[in-house]
Amino acid sequence: MVASTGNVRISYAAYCARAGIKLYAFLTSLVPAEKMRECALYGAQVVKVTPTYDRATQLAEKYSAQRGMYFRPRATQHCRGGAYEDPGL
């Protein structure tokens, strides 16, 4: 699972598609539709969240906790993305 406002969501979608992992991408409503579609083209399940990145992150974290998915904090300081993995896959 990823919450993102930047290009990291597309990278995660591409890598997950290559690895055969289902990705849920929580994106703010401010993300352009073309970028949402690009993420979905890789097979990601796009979840549109209003209004902010912080809210998208909160919802992604709650969603993963409810489903027993592993939460890994932001990958780097330069990347506003929260990565989530489902160890059951």
CATH of the domain at 78: 3.40.50.1100
Work out the number of other CB atoms within 10 angstroms of the CB of residue 55.
15
13-50 pLDDT, tens digit per residue, is 899 999 998 888 888 888 888 989 999 999 999 988 88
Question: Using CA of residue 23, residue 27, residue 79, residue 75, what is the dihedral sign?
Answer: negative
Residue 28 lies in domain: 2-85
Please state the pTM of the whole predicted model.
0.70
Q: How many domains does the chain have?
A: 1
Helix axes 33-41, 8-19, angle to 10 degrees: 20
Burial of 87 (0-12, 13-18, 19+ CB in 10 A): exposed
H helices of the chain, where? 8-19, 33-41, 53-66
Q: Is the pLDDT of residue 57 over 80?
A: yes
